[in-house]
Amino acid sequence: MTESVRRLADVPDWGYLLAEFDTAYRYRSAGGSRLIRGHMKAVRERLSRCIAGDPPLDFPLPERKPVCAHLGRALDNGERDTMSGMVRAIDKVKDWLTWRHGYASMPRHLEKRYAYADILGPHGPVYCKELTLGLVLFAPRTTYPAHAHSGITESYICLSGATSENDAGVYVPGAMILNVPEHDHAITTSDREPALLAYAWVGAPEDLANQEMVFSRKRKPAPLTRNPE
């Protein structure tokens, strides 16, 4: 007798977490941006199709990275702020999460200061071929080097702590950051508190399934040339 496949409806806490993602991308403000509004709609539509299909679940062995020493603090802070519903839902499934670095070559300074965990996507744990959802955890005083995503539109929602992207502003719980494909972006975190972000990737199934995680190479400045006299 073969073991039955476990599906989303069999594990309610994962369904509640996905419902919190839907709420965030349905009711958070787009700030008047048509581009952000369109991305939020794309996330909702893909997530709704996935949930309606009662997808299979595939849980790898839970794994922690050194930065997870800051997870408790990040969750405690988040439960007191505007994204408390999602943070509480994450707390219910935190022991099932598989935290990863994702990069073949990790800068030594980042090994203890960063990790991500998939929630939904082509690699599970909730299977979906057209959307990826997950979490990113940063230690205090972290610089996450510049990187870009090929063929993928990415958004972050700050759940806990404070971050800056490309020194363009400070993002606190409830704020959304949008990164279009091929856009180089680096992230920094505040000095005293960890940062927990939710993320969504929208793209073609082949891009989501085969995305290579690499940091951007530093571009050498173009040599100066003199105009002929």
Whole-number percent of the chain with pLDDT over 90: 82
As given in the structure block, the two tokens for residue 62 are 């839970």
Say yes or no to pLDDT of 86 above 50.
yes
Determine the pLDDT at residue 102. Answer: 85
47-51, 189-193, 212-216, 225-229: lowest mean pLDDT where? 225-229
Number of domains, the chain: 1
Q: Which domain holds residue 108?
A: 8-210
Determine the pLDDT at residue 3. Answer: 56
CA gap 164, 186 in Å, rounded: 8
Determine the pLDDT at residue 218. Answer: 55
The domain that holds 181 is classified in CATH as 2.60.120.10
CA gap 176, 157 in Å, rounded: 5
Determine the pLDDT at residue 144. Answer: 92
Q: Is residue 201 part of a domain?
A: yes
Determine the pLDDT at residue 222. Answer: 39
Q: Is residue 229 part of a domain?
A: no
Q: Is residue 217 part of a domain?
A: no
Claim: this prediction has a pTM higher than 0.85: yes
Other beta carbons within 10 Å of 20:
19
Say yes or no to pLDDT of 202 above 60.
yes
DSSP secondary structure letters along the chain:
-PPPPPBGGG-HHHHHHHHHHHHHHHHS--TT-HHHHHHHHHHHHHHHHHHHT--BB--PPPB--GGGGGHHHHHHHHTTSTTHHHHHHHHHHGGG-BEE---SS--GGGTTTEEEEEEEETTSSEE-SSEEEEEEEE-SS-EEEEE--TTEEEEEEEEES-EEETTS--B-TT-EEEE-TT--EEEEE-SSS-EEEEEEEEE-HHHHHH----BPPPPPPPPP-PPP-
Q: Summarize the confidence of residues 143-171 as an average pLDDT.
A: 94
Say yes or no to pLDDT of 223 above 70.
no
Q: Is residue 143 part of a domain?
A: yes
Other beta carbons within 10 Å of 151:
15
Q: Is residue 219 part of a domain?
A: no
Q: Is residue 223 part of a domain?
A: no
Determine the pLDDT at residue 214. Answer: 63
Say yes or no to pLDDT of 224 above 60.
no
Q: Is residue 73 part of a domain?
A: yes
Could you read off the pLDDT of 7-57 as tens digits, one per residue? 999 999 999 999 999 999 999 999 999 999 999 999 999 999 999 999 999
- At 57, give phi and psi (nearest 5°): -110, 140
Under the banding of pLDDT at 50, 70 and 90, the label for residue 121 is very high
Q: Is residue 1 part of a domain?
A: no
Taking all residues of the chain, what is their mean pLDDT, rounded to a whole number?
92
Say yes or no to pLDDT of 169 above 80.
yes
- For 69-87, give one letter per residue: b (16+ CB within 10 A) or e: ebbebbbebbbeeebbbbb
